[in-house]
A and B are shown apart, each in its own frame.
Chain A
Amino acid sequence: MRAGWKLWALLPVVVIACFLALFLAKNNYQVQIMFRVALYAALALAWNVVGGYAGQLSLGHVAFFGIGAYGFTLFAAHSVPNWSAVFLAALAATVLAAMIGSIVFRLRGPYFTLATIAVAEVLRLTARNLDFTGGATGLDTPALFTGKTSWKMFYFAAVTLGVIAFLVNVWVSRSRFGYQLMAIREDEDTAAAVGIDSARKKLQSLMISAFLTGLGGALYASALQYITPDDVFHIDISIRIAIITMLGGAGTLLGPIVGAILLTSAAEVFKNLFQEGQLLIYGVLIVVVVLFLPEGIVGGLRRLFERGRKRQQLVISSN
């Protein structure tokens, strides 16, 4: 429980800072951007459980996101109360994760990644071609918050989701379950040899991640008021979530948050500079991160810091 109390002291400070940040926003557009940052931080934290701690590269997380969005909309349309619909949608995403996981976790490496993409694409294309999902034109979504302050409320909701996802990450990073995931990430065969049921642990991590991602999808659907399959099942969202986490530092607590703030604001600047090709910056960043910063910003800084401390200790012991 190294530096445990620091973390617990930090959390209220961060939450208060998130609330205060709202006063910096001059208009609704800026609140919307803050909502996006908070939402992507939450999604990246959710992805971190599978992609960071368990080391399984999912590029199909948009499947859970989209099921969250469509599940929420469809449940609510069948007279389920709005907030219950949010949770039912997240549960639906979890069930989907259980089904996908039982197939794909027998596969390793590239096969796993490919299968996650294929599942997400099947869902996107199916949603485009079914009547009750509104086809390619999509559906209107129910409003969780209404009125003038709705964007602020959505922002608060996204921050809350982010906090929940962060706490889940804290738990994973220091629980037996989390250590088992990390063992699988480092060497799956060795992990299995010491008695870790790797398929089962990976499945559990995917289900936790899917639940949180589903909640994010429902929130997004309600905030945007309208969803289409090409919007909420788009592979770009999967890639964005993954690269946010990788840039910040996969398998670290703060990495996904740092990544979300940096990348979402960078994307916003880029969007205003260029009309087309907004994802170019993601491509360039991925290449740069893989080549020069494989542990991400937070991971890299931590390594630097630890190296410095070790050197200090060496100096002391040599004296």
Chain B
Amino acid sequence: MMDFLQACCDGLLTGALYALIGMGLALIFGVMRIVNFAHGAFLMAGMYVTWLLFDKFGINPYFGFLPAGIILFALGYLVYVLLILPVRDRSDFMQILMTTGIGLILVDGAQLKFGADYHYTNIPLKNQAVHLGQISLNKASLLSFAIAAVFIVGLRAFVVRSRTGQAVRAIAQNRDVAPLMGINVTRIQGISFALGIAVAGIAGGLLLPALYVFPTVGDDYTLKAFVIVVLGGMGSIEGAAFGGLLLGVTESLTSLYWHNEWALIVDFILFLLVLSLKPSGIFGRQRT
């Protein structure tokens, strides 16, 4: 029983980061209808920026994730203007190819620049734990969870309340009518794309203390992000948050009762099941 609770807690801690990653992807998919196959590569880029700040300037990753997010926002906007905008109105086929290409350039660019070596970020917080009864929670993971939670709430508030957020939702609902309401579709889409990328970068930065960083570290996260978004209903930001938490707990329990190598298999099987049985997602509303 204690093992079960411990695994659930660990799962929720990871799940918050998954939620953040998934929300970023949902933002991009919901507003742009662009399937971002480079999501994990951008997460990797966020990790590398945070790691470089730590390695070169000794900046703690828990501060370094912020500049990483800002840099990734700028990178995302640039990528949107240069590469995504030209394919915005083309077929899914071409958009998927384009984002796959962007992902390859980022991953193999990182490989070219930094080599395939694994880098580890050692901070004291990593080796401390908080004890709640018999359950122990890693302090670094707990801090990542707290920061991720702030961003999850903030992102949702931004989309629901702010004026830009309203424009984002208007475009998601009907892209043809939105410009008639005086919304600059290109600009808003650029902002949402960049924001989605920035969030992935922030999640990367927050993952840094827990993981080794290497060029292909993000590859699994691209698929995981899709699993999360599909679980929650494609394009639903709240759904993605739930999907992330669900995935975190599922993985953690699979590792406990089975083996952690099987966790990813369970992820994908879950994904295939949801896709074939209820494509609108567990939490998604039926779309017409």
Contacts and interface: CB of A to CB of B under 8 A. Distances in A.
Q: SS class of chain B's interface: helix, strand, loop or mixed?
A: helix
B35 interface: yes
Given A277-B111, A287-B98, A287-B105, A121 B268 contact: yes
Given A122-B265, A285-B101, A289-B97, 14 more contacts: A57-B93, A103-B275, A104-B275, A115-B276, A117-B223, A118-B223, A119-B272, A122-B268, A129-B261, A239-B104, A277-B110, A280-B111, A283-B104, A283-B109
A14 interface: no
Interface stretch (A23-31, A78-86, A106-114, A165-173): A106-114
Interface of B: 35, 83, 86-87, 90, 92-94, 96-98, 100-112, 115-116, 215, 219, 223, 226-227, 230, 259, 261-262, 264-265, 268-269, 271-272, 275-276, 279
Interface in A260-311: 274, 276-280, 282-287, 289-291, 294
Nearest to B262: A129
B108 to A, nearest CB: 4
- A: interface residue count bin: 35 or more
Nearest to B35: A110
A175 interface: no
A125 B115 contact: no
Contacts of B106: 283
B216 to A, nearest CB: 10
Contacts, number: 129
Contacts of B110: 277
Contact of B97 (A122, A277, A284, A290): A290
A181 to B, nearest CB: 14
A280 B97 contact: no
Contacts of B100: 59, 239, 286
A290 B223 contact: no
B109 A107 contact: no
A291 B97 contact: no
Nearest to B220: A121
A103 B98 contact: no
A9 to B, nearest CB: 34
Q: SS class of chain A's interface: helix, strand, loop or mixed?
A: helix
A294 B105 CA distance: 19
A111 B278 CA distance: 12
A117 B220 CA distance: 11
Contacts of B93: 55, 57, 109
Interface of A: 55, 57, 59, 103-104, 106-107, 109-111, 113-115, 117-119, 121-122, 125-126, 128-129, 235, 239, 242-243, 246, 274, 276-280, 282-287, 289-291, 294
Given A117-B223, A122-B268, A290-B94, A103 B107 contact: no
Given A110-B35, A125-B265, A279-B107, A287 B272 contact: no
9 contacts: A59-B96, A113-B96, A114-B271, A115-B275, A125-B265, A283-B104, A286-B98, A289-B97, A291-B87
A287 B101 contact: yes
